[in-house]
Structure 1
Amino acid sequence: MKLLLSDLRAKQVLYGEGGPPVSLIKVVLADGTLANALYRLQAWLARLGLAPLALIPHVVNKWLNGCVIGVKAQFGPGFVLIHPVGVVINSSVRGGRNVWLESSVVIGENRGGFPRLGDDIFVGSGAKIIGAVTVGDRARVGANAVVLHDVPAGHTALGIPARMRAPRA
């Protein structure tokens, strides 16, 4: 429950950027919140060693939200599915704090290697992060980018295949 509350607070921060504060009720009713809750439920059940039971919220998330997150995928507090439709995440993926994903993001394994995402990450709509890559803290992945190599901390990955853009000074 603590992780889900941190997810909701992070979404509240996201929705309040550049404007007046947003109520927690608005965040609870927003797109993606049910997908977040179902992910946290499946992760909790998997941590308890109830992986077969964790498949229930996994399947419900797929049916209701079009969102597939592997049962053993791990994300820290502040995980936000801004729009869950089309999101696909492999079970081996590990993410830090405040990972924010737009719609149709794919984060997947390739040849046994899987992505690791740091803290304070934003991934734009349609982006793909594939294989044994690390996305450093405070990095951004642009919409429709295809990340096949590491993204250094603070950099932005853009294009197909993704090229790195250094942070502005």
Structure 2
Amino acid sequence: MAMSFFEDLKVYREGLLAQGFWALQVYRFGHLRYRFQSKLVRVPLGIAHVILSKLIEIGTGITIGVTAKIGKRLIIEHCGAIVVHGCTEMGDDCIIRQGVTFGIKNIDRPFDAPVLGNRVNVGAGAKLLGKIHIGDDVDVGANAVVVTDVPANHIAVGIPARIKPKKPTTSGQPTT
């Protein structure tokens, strides 16, 4: 856990003052309890996590389900109204901003949450709903509502989101 702490810290411009960093660390602390079999260890860790996560929710407006799977170096760029469903999976080096929701699309399918690849950039106010797969190097535009899969190196913009390939630049790197 100490290594991920410093690896996460390295990507935050505000360092220890970044609220998103602390929300991520509370999530990682809560997720840590699953490494232990003994109830004597798991129960106290679980109680501590519930208290800390509620304080984070009140103070930052960020809710991260403890059973979510989050990769390395997640950046929560701005706080407020961020919800990450407990069945969500995120790859490494993703960025999310304020008002983002990763959640379910249908109430009768409570475990169908988004799966994100690596280097996914999610704009403010975006909603990613249902059991959708977002490929590597995808940009999701601000306020987009994504309810279908997005292939790697594409962008998703609009309500409902339209999926478009990124335009290659002269350097060969895709851009939006």
Range into which the TM-score falls when normalised by the shorter chain: 0.7 to 0.9
**Aligned 8 A contact 1:4 1:77 in 2:** no
**Aligned 8 A contact 1:41 1:57 in 2:** no
2:23 equivalent to 1:35: yes
CA distance 1:139–1:165, shift in 2 (3 Å): same
Task: Pick one of 65, 71, 90 that aligns with 2:66.
Answer: 71
Could you list the runs of 5+ residues in structure 2 that have no partner in the other structure? 169-176
| 2:101 counterpart residue number | 106
Percent identical residues: 33
Please report how far the alpha carbon of residue 120 of structure 1 lies from its aligned counterpart in structure 2 after TM superposition: 0.6
| 1:119 counterpart residue number | 118
**Aligned 8 A contact 2:88 2:103 in 1:** yes
| 2:172 counterpart residue number | none
Deviations 1:126-151 (A, max 9, x none): 00000010010010111100000001
Could you list the runs of 5+ residues in structure 1 that have no partner in the other structure? 13-25
TM-score by length of 1: 0.84
| 2:148 counterpart residue number | 149
3-state SS in 1 of match to 2:5: helix
3-state SS in 2 of match to 1:32: helix
| 2:4 counterpart residue number | 3
Structure with max Cα Rg: 2
Please report how far the alpha carbon of residue 103 of structure 1 lies from its aligned counterpart in structure 2 after TM superposition: 0.5
**Counterpart residue type for residue 6 of structure 2:** L
3-state SS in 2 of match to 1:41: helix
CA distance 1:47–1:108, shift in 2 (3 Å): farther
Q: Give me the CA root mean square deviation.
A: 1.7
TM-score by length of 2: 0.81
Matches of 1:161 and 1:126, distance apart in 2: 13
Matches of 2:74 and 2:11, distance apart in 1: 7
